Structure 1
Amino acid sequence: MNPTAIYVSPLVAEAVRLTTEDGALKVFADAKKIKTEPDEENTIPRCQEDQFKEQFRMERSSFEILLRVVGKAIAGAEHLQPIGQMCLPEKLLYTLTLLSGKSFREVGETFAISKSSGHEIFKWVTAAFAALLPRYVKWPDKDVACTTERIDILPDVVGVIDECRIPLKLLVKEEEGQRHIVALALQAVCDEHSRFLDIHIDVPDLQCILLKSELFERLIDTVEPLMPPHKHLVGETMYPLLLNLMTPFTEKNRKLGPCHMRFNQAIRSWNAPAERAFAALISRFRRLESLEIATLELATTVVSATCMLHNFILECGEPIDGVLDFDTVPERPKSVVFGAHGLVNWDFTAAAERKRDNLVAGFMHA
């Protein structure tokens, strides 16, 4: 590819131009010597907001903030970027377009980037996004609990824990045991606004992946507890009942009365924020519908990057209603009631059961 004669589509050229301050795209244009079609020269149309959002999965104003955030994060290490002749805005836009679900070939033609160079850019940018994850996916302050009237019938809920599966288009081979992996499990804690508070990405198996996550260690830490005793997450019966994790009652050991049923319904009303979060994530970043990735490490990085972007976009004030497509979310795998794992006889289970019984008492006259 001749770097002195590159055609960039009007949409991409305009998007890059609009994300640079004080006409700084002129530097980019001069360096790349962007060519336009004869009838387009000097008449490149302004990229409309809906066009920008459709291709790059966020509003122009959000992208401008993202560009500054990433630029600041890599300050002093610019020389480590792959494909030095391609500017940072274009690399971010290229990667966002790939995350939207388009193929490397299609996006490469739009940006005039070879597939091999494109893979290097994609890996570098998604790693940069993933490195920003702790800044945007973080636990709330200790005094925070749900304030949404529709789902606050159960008091002191910090968030809901749930998981979804990310299908892998290519069979990823795990080094230990040479096991083929056909999907990743994304475990997430979401608040009432469908914002991720914590995520864990792992290889799914019959065991609840919570047990393999750092979150589990924090939930059972009695020396430095994650939350005060009266606060909690909520989750389905696939999760263990813990002091800070309330789960529904089952009919295995007792007949459920009306107050138990109302308690269960209060917990399950929290499924909606998690379902919206997963639907927004996969609807916006459709590459997750079938992730074509050859290594487990890169697959984890890409999923982490999209979770960071999900929260970043919410922080920018963009609503998620316009991108929701619940059909994109893979069907939930059949879960095993946690008691079936044989791991319920812990020392702190009794305290969790007492707490749950006390919460149920609050539904006695509901």
Structure 2
Amino acid sequence: MDVRECVLSAGRAVLDVVEREWQPLSPGELEQRLDQAVEQILEADLMAPLKARPPPAGGAQPLRSQASAEPQVLPPETCVSPPEEETPEPREPMEPVDSAAVKVSYITDLLQNSESRARMAGRARLSLSHTVLLSLTLLSERVSYRSVSRRFRLEKGNIHRIFFSFCERLNTLQEKQIRWPVGGEAVEALSPLCRPDKEQEEQRGVPRVLGVLGHTRIPIRLPIGKHDVESTVPEVKRMKMEAHPDSWLNLQLACDRKGRFLHCRTSRGSDVDRGGALRDKLEQQPELMPSGSCLVARAGYPLTAQILTPYSRSIGPREELFNEMLEEHFHILDQAVANLKARFKRLRYLDIGNYERARAVVLTACVLHNMFLDMGQEVQGDVEKEEAVTGEVEVEMDDEGVRRRDAISDLLFKMFESGSV
């Protein structure tokens, strides 16, 4: 028997073993075996670094004390190294292990205790904490599904299902996490319109600011049906000449002085509405605005008794002073948006051609933004120039809004002349 026959014989033997082991399995049994193998590998990778760590000094208590508590997890960077053939992107300094573990544990507990107890899609045996860790990895890092697939030892298709199921589950928490302040909470959220102390402003009739209204754009992949396939101009050149309005998603936000989102609305890029829905809601429910309060927004939003916008025409010393006072508040929203995009880097470009899925991902990031602020987990992002939307014209100005803005600008100018501002 020559070498070739030996190799063929060995190959046939291996095939026979594989066929005897796997061929008789039904699809359900095969899926179950794969689930078990994936779970064992994943838990071994997550637990190995923890076992190597020395016990915490002072007998610190574990984060979770339930009898069936899941293992504490580490940031995904510490689990599996990136594949050698891929050049890892430069990363910012990794957050402390305890910080990442607290986030995963907090979100896991919140989802377990929420009313939405529907099972999330994905591997049958993938634990909830691992699902949260995987989803946070996709949101927080600009990594491909392929890279995450290798890191978590799961196929790409299953990662898609797990991630979007997680986003749908987080979206059900929107009303609890992104809520409009009322009562004492609203009064506590108020901030001065200008520099003087609160009592001086109130005595002179200057309103206090409940929140800052504005928007940003989230680039998304253009749906296939939107491409102009008949055009003879190369696609890259077409994109540079004029971006399709549906190649981004509009994210409208209102935040308080701490950068916490009070209002969140997403729409297609072709939707040119600016604050119309919120304006109507505030007019129909005036109790949402504490007495002597207002929202501030940049030009392009409706000027009403509840929403004050800067002057864009007939600019004089009085109008310039008023615009300067508002600009200080606009920086709060710009910084909040910068922090959102710094924490969730996937928002810099969503490679998703489905609007509803892109919307779910963006809303998930906004919900998590407020959750992490409540936990004291803050991230400082760099404000980009494009965040400050300028040069837009006011779309609506009702008479009451015009009168109130003029009265406030007169008060501020008198205070400035007297040296109070």
TM-score relative to the length of structure 2: 0.68
CA deviations over 1:279-303 (Å, ceiling 9, x no partner): 1111111111110112111111110
Q: Distance in 2 between matches of 1:309 and 1:28?
A: 20
Change (3 A) 1:272 1:76: closer
Q: Take 2:224 and 2:265, find their aligned partners in 1: how far apart are those partners?
A: 18
User: 2:410 maps to what in 1?
Assistant: 361
Tell me, yes or no, if the aligned pair for 1:151 and 1:270 is still in contact at 8 Å.
no
Q: Secondary structure at the match of 1:138?
A: coil
Name the counterpart of 2:213.
161
Aligned to 2:166: 125
Bigger Rg over Cα: 2
Check the 8 A contact 1:173/1:181 in 2, yes or no: no
Q: 1:206 to 1:295 in 2, by over 3 A?
A: closer
Contact 1:19 1:64 in 2 (8 A): yes
- Going from structure 1 to structure 2, the CA distance change for 1:293 and 1:53 (only over 3 Å counts) comes to farther
In structure 2, stretches of 5+ residues that fail to align are 1-30, 52-61, 74-78, 81-92, 197-205, 227-243, 417-421
Rounded to whole Å, the distance in 2 between the matches of 1:356 and 1:150 is 12
Alignment of 1:63-82 (within 5 A): 63-73=104-114, 76-78=117-119, 81-82=121-122
Alignment of 1:30-49 (within 5 A): none
Question: Could you give the per-residue CA deviations for residues 159-180 of structure 1, whole angstroms, max 9, x where no partner exists?
Answer: 1101100001343658xxxx87
> 1:260: how far off?
2.3
Cα pair 1:208 1:238 within 8 Å, conserved: no
State the secondary structure of the residue aligned to 1:198.
strand
Aligned-partner residue type, residue 200 of structure 1: R
Shift in CA distance, 325/28, structure 1 to aligned 2, threshold 3 Å: closer
Q: Which runs of 5+ in 1 are unaligned?
A: 30-34, 37-49
Are positions 1:293 and 2:352 aligned together? yes
1:112 deviation in Å? 1.0
| Distance apart, 1:218 and its partner CA | 0.7
Which sits farther off after the overlay, 179-188 or 300-309? Answer: 179-188
CA, structure 1 residues 267+145, in 2 after alignment: closer, same or farther (shift >3 Å)?
farther
Kindly indicate whether the alpha-carbon contact (under 8 Å) linking 2:245 and 2:269 is maintained by their aligned counterparts in 1. no
In structure 2, relative to structure 1, the CA distance for the partners of 1:291 and 1:13 (3 Å cut) is farther
Inter-partner Cα distance in structure 1 for 2:64 and 2:180: 33
Q: Which of 321, 327, 336 matches 2:392?
A: 336
Give the deviation of 1:242 after TM superposition: 0.4
Q: How many Å separate the matches in 2 of 1:76 and 1:287?
A: 27
Aligned 1:1-366 pairs, distance under 5 A: 2-6=34-38, 7-8=41-42, 12-13=46-47, 21=65, 24=68, 51=94, 59-73=100-114, 76-78=117-119, 81-100=121-140, 101-142=142-183, 143-144=186-187, 155-171=207-223, 181-205=246-270, 207-211=272-276, 213=277, 215-221=278-284, 224-228=286-290, 230-251=292-313, 254-256=314-316, 258-321=317-380, 324-327=381-384, 335-338=391-394, 341=395, 343-344=396-397, 349-363=398-412, 364-366=414-416
CA drift of 1:134 comes to 1.0
Check the 8 A contact 2:308/2:405 in 1, yes or no.
yes
Q: Deviations over 1:44-93 (max 9, x none)?
A: xxxxxx75658x9x643233221110111266534x54322100000010
Is the alpha carbon distance of 1:98 and 1:9 closer, same or farther for their aligned partners in structure 2, counting shifts above 3 Å? farther
Q: Cα gap change, 1:354/1:332 in structure 2, threshold over 3 Å: closer, same or farther?
A: closer
Residue of structure 2 equivalent to 1:40: none
| Mapped contact 2:192–2:207 kept (Cα < 8 A) | no
Greater shift in the superposed pair: 200-209 or 350-359:
200-209
Matches of 2:180 and 2:311, distance apart in 1: 27
**CA 1:336–1:259 in 2, change beyond 3 Å: closer, same or farther?**
closer
Going by fraction, where is helix more abundant, 1 or 2? 2
Partners in 1 of 2:311 and 2:304 — Cα distance? 13
Cα deviation for residue 332 of structure 1 reads 5.2
In 2, Cα distance between equivalents of 1:145 and 1:357:
27
Q: 1:172 to 1:201 in 2, by over 3 A?
A: farther
Aligned positions, number: 326
Cα RMSD after superposing both structures: 3.4
Q: Is the 8 A contact 1:172 1:293 kept in 2?
A: no
Contact 2:334 2:387 in 1 (8 A): no
Identity %: 24
- Residue aligned with 1:188, SS: strand
Instruction: Give the equivalent residue in structure 1 for 2:15.
Output: none
